[in-house]
Amino acid sequence: MENRLTSLYTLQLVDSSLDELQEMKGDLPKIVAELSETVKNKLALKKQLDDILKKSIAGRDKTDVDILTLKEKIEKHKTQQFQVKTNKQYDMLAREMDNAQDKITQLQKEMENLENKAEQAKEDSTKLQPEIEELQSELAERKKELAAVNKEHEDEELKLKHQREKLVSRISKSDYQMYERIRKAKEGRAIVKVQRNSCGGCFNRATPQRVLELRKNSAIITCERCGRILVSDEIVESAKKLL
């Protein structure tokens, strides 16, 4: 049990050191992550607008060709009307010309809509470009700042992470899950030492019987108020020797 407590408290010391390094970075990791996501979304939006522009222009050009084809068809039918010999043939050509003209009117409206859509997409895409460039510039600067901070503490952080991996491999799954659960609930401090017979986390005074049990290092004892794991000075000293 003493080894279990020592390993857990050593893990707490390592995690606290890693937390301190993380605090030195301030909000930079969060800022970089948020900026990266924003740039990603803006680029996706611009691509969507550019795709709309491309498809609208292609649709407009096709519609224009269709209109020209229909107009040629009408002109052809006009010529044919002078050549037909019966009223029935004449009326049939007239109906086809009317249908073609109706189709042209419909296509002209579609063409106008496509042109408006293309114009709006182009305008929105153009406005978006400088915004993206500004965000990308800010992101590059923030990444540079974060890289500088990371480099400054790179060796120490790698060493701590390596220590953490070794410690976790020696701790039972149930102990580790309990530690992580308390650590998450208590802002990173899952295990504290008893100071002047009080919890080092919430300062709740422990009963003499609880202090006596604690000094035996024979069980995992938690604070009755905050739920943190309590350890004795002996465990604290043993953990420090492992670092």
Per-residue buried b or exposed e for 90-99, using 16+ beta carbons within 10 Å of the residue's own CB: eeebeeebee
Inter-residue contact 60 to 117 (CB < 8 Å): no
Rounded to the nearest integer, the mean pLDDT of the chain is 94
| Sign of torsion over alpha carbons 15, 20, 24, 30 | positive
**Banded model confidence at residue 191, pLDDT cuts 50, 70, 90:** very high
Q: Does domain 28-154 have CATH number 1.10.3720.10?
A: no
Sheet holding 221-222, edge to edge: 198-199, 191-195, 229-231, 221-222
What is the β-pairing status of strands 221-222 and 198-199? unpaired
Domain limits of the chain? Answer: 2-24+155-242, 28-154
Q: pLDDT at residue 171 above 90? A: yes
What is the Cα–Cα distance from 146 to 130, expressed in whole angstroms? 24
Question: pLDDT digit string (tens) for 5-27?
Answer: 999 999 999 999 999 888 888 88
Asked if domains 2-24+155-242 and 28-154 share a fold, the reply is yes
Collapsing DSSP to helix, strand or coil, 194 comes out as: strand
Query: Is the domain covering 2-24+155-242 a CATH 3.90.1640.30 domain?
Result: no
Q: State the residue for tokens 């390094």.
A: 21
* Closest listed residue to residue 65, CA positions, set 101, 100, 107: 107
Say whether pLDDT at 152 is over 90.
no
Average pLDDT over residues 41-60: 97
Against a cut of 0.75, is the pTM above it? no
Q: What is the pLDDT of residues 196-240, one digit of tens each?
A: 899 999 999 988 888 899 999 999 999 999 999 999 999 999 998
Mean pLDDT in residue range 141-145? 94
Q: Higher confidence at residue 153 or residue 93?
A: 93
What secondary structure, in 3-state letters, does 208-231 show?
HHHHHHHHHCCCCEECCCCCCEEE
Distances in whole angstroms, Cα of residue 147 to Cα of each of 95, 151, 177, 200? 74, 6, 32, 35
